[in-house]
Every structure is written in C-alpha cells, then in structure tokens.
C-alpha cells in the first residue's frame, strides 16, 4: 500500500495509490480562472498534477490503476479550483497524463490500434501512421521538441541504450517487440524523428498470409516444405515489405526438437520453438567501447551447437560468416536482406562479403553463395498497400561466372481496379527443383510436386 500527499499547508491526506511530491508545489488560486480555451485550462491542470506526482513511483504502478488514481486527482484539482470538467474530459486527461508518465505520450493510442503497422514522427507536430498499407497524417502531436526527446529517451533507456546529443541515433525496440529507430538533433532539424514498425500481437502464420492475399496456398505449401526440408533461405524485399513477418511465418515450420540461434540488431523475431537462443547486438558505451556486432555474435553462435542459425537481417561483413555457417552443416538457416529483386539480393550479398575485407576473387564469392543458399523469396509492398510474394526462386548453381536461378513461383500482374486494387495471380512455373532430392529424404517429395502443380514423372 502506497500513500499520497498534497502540497497544502495542512498535513498531507492519506490515500492508497501514488506517492506525491512534498509541500511547496505550485497550485491554482481557489478561484475560477478566466482562460482563453479549454486546452489551456487542461494544460494548467496538467502542470499542477505533474508537480504533485512522483514519476518514479508512478512507473511501478499498473497502467489501469495509474489511470484511475490520476482521474481521482484530476477530479480533486478541478473541484478545488472550481474548474468544470465532465467525466469524459477527466478520463481523457487522465489517460493523456498516464501515457506521458509511463507510456509513449501521444503515440500510445496508435500502439493499441491493430490496423496501424507504422508510426512515423517527423518532429513534435507532424505524426503519420500507416494503416492498411497507406500513409495518413494524424492530429496527434507532442507538446514541444523537449516532450518528444523525453519520450525518445524513455524508449532507449528501457533496453539499456542511450540517446542524447552525443549519441543522437539509436535502434531500439518496445516491450511488445516493435522496432524503433530514433534520430535527434543535431542530425535532424525538425526537433526529432521516431519511426516505429509495429508487429502483430499474434504472429502471422502462412495460412493467415494466404488469407491476406500475400501469397497463394501452393506457394505457402512450398515454403513450408522448404523449411521442413532444411533449405537455406534468403528473404529479400524493400523497406516495409514484410520480410520479417514472412520469416516469422516460415520459421514456425522448424521442428520443435531443433536448437535455433537467432542473431539480430534489435530482437524482432518471435520463434515458437521451445529451444531458441536469441542474441542481440550491443552499441558502444559512452566511452566508445564495448560494442558487440552481428558478425561477432554470428561467430559465437557457431560455438553454441546450433541446428539452425537465423540472422534477422544481414547488412554487412557478417554476410561472409553467414555463408560459412550455411556451408558447414547448419542447413535450414535463414536471413533477410534489403533488395529490389532476387537477382539484386545476390548482388547485395556479394557486396557485403567484400565488406569483410577479404581478398577473395569474385568467382569464389559467387561459388560460396551458390553452394550456400538454396532459395530466395522476394516480397514487395505494392501500390494498393498489400504485401505480396513476387518470386520464389531456387539457386541452380553456376554457369561460367554467373549464379543461375530457377523461378518456381511468381506473381503475374493482370491490371489494377480502383475499387479492388491490383489484380493478379500467383503462378507456378511448373519447373522441377533440384532440392526435390532433399525433400524426398524428409518424405515430402509428393507434397512438393503437388504444390508446384507437377504430375507424376
């Protein structure tokens, strides 16, 4: 049980809930104040209330209980100072204040909206959201740049990272796993930028993605077989195309008796298997030391007896270590990469291997890629806001100096309608993949042929 206290001359009254700041706080005169607008009146109530509440104690109280306590305090302050607020206004102000103290301020309602996938802050007064694949501007706003900066610091501090003028850029995550990127002045001139990529509260399955028209049932069955057959898989796509969501969905078909090690910059993957070790990079501390990169984590993962290694996103020299892992018995490993097409994904991996400062000839690098990666799955967010798997391609080896691919599934564009968006279909090329031999070892050959629409041969 905790106590509350008000800053009047009389002894502080006792109440279960919040711990309030000692006497001497600023308060209203006990008269009706002629304010220009209700918003100004609410802002003055906010000032008094925040001066009475101890934020460190508020942070330890469950959100629902905190809102109830704040609503009582709002009612008391309004009554003491003859301010008329109806019940809805009191509850709205209580929710606003609790979000400011322990949540993300004006962004909090967007986190609860399951239709919203991205929250984009371009300064304190300019907030956009992506809903159903489309960007829209909101009326929400921070009070000022300092309010935005304090929310940004709360996000970073929660996972042991820092964001300030000396280190004005950070990648972080929220408690629900949502990914956050923050950039503060002097790197931006608008007061600060926060980009939040939300993830569904429930991990999507391949079946759910089929219902959302992200891919066809046959393509989904192919990806399930690929995961169960321990194919090394690379998921490519642009920013916001749904790479991580697709990786989460495919990973659900990893056997539960396998040991899986994940390596990420900020933990986003939600694997359902019981034997999972999640590793996350660490930035340098204030002295510039103590950094742990994805490449170091990946090398360490090889010493942890993994059955599979999953790299959340390969973006640098760790690409070489990932290929080495795929080539040394860790079949079934997966990763994502930013790219505009399956072919572009191969070029990106080539360039990232070169970033490892290795003196390997280009042909040797391409041979490593061709022998390590079995399948490239490319996904895009299209103009109608729907994310669709554009191509599922098998790496078919080398021809001279070139890595060859064999497309197994592709999305065929048929046109566009104003009411229903982009029209098209997912079609199998009906080509027989090389990995059918591996699928046969797992008893999945017949299923693979059926998924591809290939009859008995």
Neighbours of 399 (CB within 10 A): 9
Q: Could you tell me how far CA 457 lies from the centroid of its own chain?
A: 44
Question: Mean pLDDT, to the nearest integer, of 211-234?
Answer: 95
Residues 403 and 380 in one domain: yes
Q: Please give the pLDDT value at position 446.
A: 94
Q: Please give the pLDDT value at position 91.
A: 81
Q: CA Rg, the chain, in Å?
A: 27
CATH number at residue 137: 3.30.450.90
Question: Mean pLDDT, to the nearest integer, of 72-82?
Answer: 76
Q: Please give the pLDDT value at position 33.
A: 41
Q: Please give the pLDDT value at position 436.
A: 94
Judged against a pLDDT cut of 60, whether residue 7 lies above it is answered with no
Domain termination site, one of 130, 165, 197: 197
Tens digits of residue pLDDT in 382-399: 988 889 999 999 999 999
Question: What one-character DSSP code corresponds to residue 355?
Answer: T
Tens digits of residue pLDDT in 99-136: 877 788 899 999 988 889 999 999 999 999 998 878 99
Q: Please give the pLDDT value at position 294.
A: 92
Residues 254 and 305 in one domain: yes
Residues 177 and 243 in one domain: no
Going from the C-alpha of 54 to that of each of 6, 71, 108, 156, 331, the distances in angstroms are: 11, 16, 21, 21, 53
CA torsion angle for 169, 172, 178, 179 (degrees, to 10)? 50
Q: Please give the pLDDT value at position 276.
A: 95
Residues 191 and 118 in one domain: yes
Question: Mean pLDDT, to the nearest integer, of 369-373?
Answer: 94
Q: Could you tell me how far CA 187 lies from the centroid of its own chain?
A: 23
Q: Exposure of 138 by Cβ count < 10 A (0-12 exposed, 13-18 middle, 19+ buried)?
A: middle
CA torsion angle for 78, 83, 86, 87 (degrees, to 10)? 0
Burial 28-57 (b: 16+ CB within 10 A, else e): beeeeeeeeeeeebbebbbebbeebbbeeb
Residues 97 and 45 in one domain: yes
Residues 340 and 262 in one domain: yes
Q: Please give the pLDDT value at position 456.
A: 57
Q: Tell me which of 327 and 374 has the higher pLDDT.
A: 374
Tell me how far apart the alpha carbons of residues 422 and 383 are, in angstroms, rounded to a whole number. 8
- Closest by alpha carbon to 44, among 54, 56, 34? 34
Q: Is 299 inside any structural domain?
A: yes
Q: Encoding tokens for residue 144?
A: 């000022």
Tens digits of residue pLDDT in 20-53: 444 444 444 333 344 444 566 667 767 777 677 7
Tens digits of residue pLDDT in 266-316: 888 888 899 999 999 988 877 778 889 999 999 999 999 999 999 989 988
Judged against a pLDDT cut of 80, whether residue 378 lies above it is answered with yes
Residues 76 and 120 in one domain: no
Domain coverage including residue 369: 206-452
Tens digits of residue pLDDT in 159-210: 878 888 888 998 888 888 788 999 999 999 988 999 999 877 777 899 999 9
C-beta separation of 316 from 295 below 8 A? yes
Q: Please give the pLDDT value at position 112.
A: 86
Share of the chain above pLDDT 70, in %: 88
pLDDT band at 74 (very low <50, low <70, confident <90, very high): confident
Tell me how far apart the alpha carbons of residues 339 and 391 are, in angstroms, rounded to a whole number. 13
Residues 39 and 115 in one domain: no
Tens digits of residue pLDDT in 333-363: 999 999 999 999 999 999 999 888 678 899 9
Domain termination site, one of 102, 122, 149: 102
Q: What is the strand order of the sheet 260-264 is part of?
A: 276-280, 260-264, 308-311, 334-338, 233-237, 375-381, 387-399, 402-417, 421-428
Residues 264 and 193 in one domain: no
Question: What one-character DSSP code corresponds to residue 20?
Answer: B
Tell me how far apart the alpha carbons of residues 320 and 351 are, in angstroms, rounded to a whole number. 10
C-beta separation of 48 from 28 below 8 A? yes
> How high is the mean pLDDT of the chain?
84
Residues 240 and 388 in one domain: yes
CATH number at residue 348: 3.40.50.300
Tell me how far apart the alpha carbons of residues 317 and 354 are, in angstroms, rounded to a whole number. 7
Residues 135 and 77 in one domain: no
Q: Encoding tokens for residue 196?
A: 């939040």
When divided into structural domains, the chain yields a total of 3
Judged against a pLDDT cut of 60, whether residue 432 lies above it is answered with yes
Domain termination site, one of 146, 176, 197: 197
Residues 225 and 341 in one domain: yes
Q: Is 457 inside any structural domain?
A: no
C-beta separation of 23 from 74 below 8 A? no
């Amino acid at each position: 049980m905790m106590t509350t206290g008000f800053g009047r001359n009389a002894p502080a009254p006792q109440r279960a809930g919040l711990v309030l700041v000692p006497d001497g706080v600023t308060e209203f005169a006990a008269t009706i104040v002629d304010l220009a607008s209700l918003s100004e009146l609410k802002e003055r109530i906010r000032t008094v209330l925040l001066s009475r509440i101890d934020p460190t104690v508020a942070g330890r109280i469950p959100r629902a209980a905190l809102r109830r306590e704040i609503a009582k305090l709002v009612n008391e302050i309004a009554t003491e100072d003859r301010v008329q607020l109806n019940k809805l206004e009191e509850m709205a102000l209580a929710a606003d204040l609790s979000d400011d103290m322990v949540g993300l301020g004006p962004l909090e309602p967007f986190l609860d909206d399951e239709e919203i996938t991205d929250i984009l802050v371009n300064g304190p007064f300019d907030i956009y959201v992506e809903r159903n694949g489309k960007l829209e501007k909101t009326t929400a706003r921070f009070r000022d740049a300092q309010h935005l900066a304090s929310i940004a610091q709360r996000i970073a501090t929660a996972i042991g990272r820092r964001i300030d003028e000396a280190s004005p850029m950070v990648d972080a995550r929220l408690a629900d796993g949502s990914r956050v990127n923050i950039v503060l002045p002097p790197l931006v001139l608008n007061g600060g930028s926060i980009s939040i990529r939300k993830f569904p509260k429930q991990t999507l399955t391949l079946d759910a993605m089929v219902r959302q028209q992200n891919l066809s049932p046959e393509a989904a069955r192919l990806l399930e077989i690929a995961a169960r057959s321990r194919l090394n898989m690379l998921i490519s796509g642009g920013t916001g195309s749904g790479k991580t969501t697709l990786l989460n969905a495919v990973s659900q078909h990893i056997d539960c008796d396998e040991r899986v090690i994940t390596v990420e910059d900020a933990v986003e993957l939600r694997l359902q298997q019981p034997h999972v070790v999640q590793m996350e990079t660490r930035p340098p501390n204030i002295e510039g030391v103590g950094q742990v990169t994805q490449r170091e984590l990946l090398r360490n993962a090889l010493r942890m007896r993994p059955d599979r290694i999953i790299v959340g996103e390969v973006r640098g020299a760790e690409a070489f270590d990932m290929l080495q892992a795929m080539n040394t018995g860790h079949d079934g490993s997966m990763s994502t990469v930013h790219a505009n097409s399956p072919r572009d994904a191969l070029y990106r991996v080539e360039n990232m291997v070169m970033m490892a400062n290795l003196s390997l000839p280009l042909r040797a690098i391409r041979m490593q890629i061709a022998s390590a990666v079995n399948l490239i799955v490319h996904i895009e967010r299209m103009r109608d806001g729907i994310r669709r798997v554009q191509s599922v391609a098998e790496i078919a080896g080398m021809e001279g100096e070139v890595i060859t691919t064999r497309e197994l599934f592709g999305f065929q564009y048929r046109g566009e309608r104003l009411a229903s968006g982009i029209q098209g279909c997912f079609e199998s090329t009906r080509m027989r993949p090389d990995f059918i031999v591996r699928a046969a070892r797992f008893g999945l050959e017949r299923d693979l042929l059926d998924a591809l629409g290939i009859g008995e041969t």
